Amino acid sequence: MQKAIYLDNSATTPVLEVVAHRMLGAMRDGYFNPSAAYGPAVEVERQLRSCRDTLREAASAQGYEVIFTSGGTEADNLAILGILERQRKLGACCYSAVEHPAVREPMGTAEARGHPVRVLPVDAQGVLDLERCEAMLDGDTALISCMHVCNETGAVQPIEDLAQLRNRRCPSALLHVDGVQGFLRAPLSLGQAGVDLYAVSAHKIHGPKGVGALLVRKGVPLSPRMLGGGQEGGLRSGTENVPGILGMQSAVEALRAMADMDQVLRSNKMRLLHRVMEGEPQAQVNGSDPQSAQAAPHILNLSLPGVRGEVMLHALEAMGVYVSTGSACSARRQRHGPALAAMGIAGDRLESAIRISLSPLNTVEEMDLAADAILAAHAQLKGFKRR
């Protein structure tokens, strides 16, 4: 039996060997509490500072604080609810129509607390429609949240343009970016772009689950969501997850050292797409032009007419190919997240959508085998109609 082909890297990624080795060392030898005062503990604290420096450098975020969290969801919650807790008046909150539940749900909490909430529209490619957004941003706006890369379609959002629009329309508003799918895979300089808060997650970049970070521009006021011993500058109490944090650092360093990672990801994505389109010309890409800068190099959303995405997923699973139908965080509650519907996609095209997400560990051979499997499964299933 051939090795399984894993193409659901937007859900999670396999941990790199160098990451696992670093974490094992931290658990076996570097187990000291970084808040303690003796030498070995001080050394662990120094290693945590080194990880903060690594994240700042990777995100071009000099002048930002780094707050370690349990992952992207906690980082998003800390950003959104931590900001609003400090607001003296009920300011408006704006977020894009394609956001992850980690942003949508805290925004629902904000609305329940009396903050006006506005959903910023996207165009047919799933990219923020800045012309339509302009009228929704005004002097009452306190917070804007927009993901860096859409987890469903791979659309790269115009963060720098959004920041400039913020500066014109509501300069006192803070800009939060969910960078979970974009960090290290789509270029963005936080300092240059004018981003105030940026959330990352380790397990999306071949690090461990259960650890992430929020990068916060110095001077941005936040209230903590967890209270206790005052770790992380008082913003995230609890003893730091040292093995996870050091594993995250090793993952960042490893991906940054990979030569031509963007080119490899995009080349593999396009190879798979071309082979599928040759065999099934009616297949449709959902999102930005896959070759353009508005499309992330690692995510491809495809509709294959006549076969429900969920059926296709399980058919491919039986063939040793793992894909998804959308966000893993909502997969058991609904077949698709909000992005495709916000783009105006409906009917058979919506129902037949699958998401393919790559990592730099995938090979050219895997692209060919996966394309063959997709075409074979589709050819077998498209003759069946659901009653």
Q: What is the 3-state secondary structure (H, E, C) of the chain?
A: CCCCEECECCCCCCCCHHHHHHHHHHHHCCCCCCCCCCHHHHHHHHHHHHHHHHHHHHCCCCCEEEEEECCHHHHHHHHHHHHHCCCCCCCEEEEECCCCHHHHHHHHHHHHCCCCEEEECECCCCCECHHHHHCCCCCCEEEEECCCECCCCCEECCHHHHHHHHHHHCCCCEEEEECCCCCCCCCCCHHHHCCCEEEEEHHHCCCCCCCEEEEEECCCCCCCCCCCCCCHHHCCCCCCCHHHHHHHHHHHHHHHHCCCHHHHHHHHHHHHHHHHHHHCCCCEECCCCCCCCCECCCEEEEECCCCCHHHHHHHHHHCCEECECCCCCCCCCCCCCHHHHHCCCCHHHHHCEEEEECCCCCCHHHHHHHHHHHHHHHHHHCCCCCC
- Whether 329 is a known active-site residue: answer yes
Which residues are identified as catalytic?
A: 329
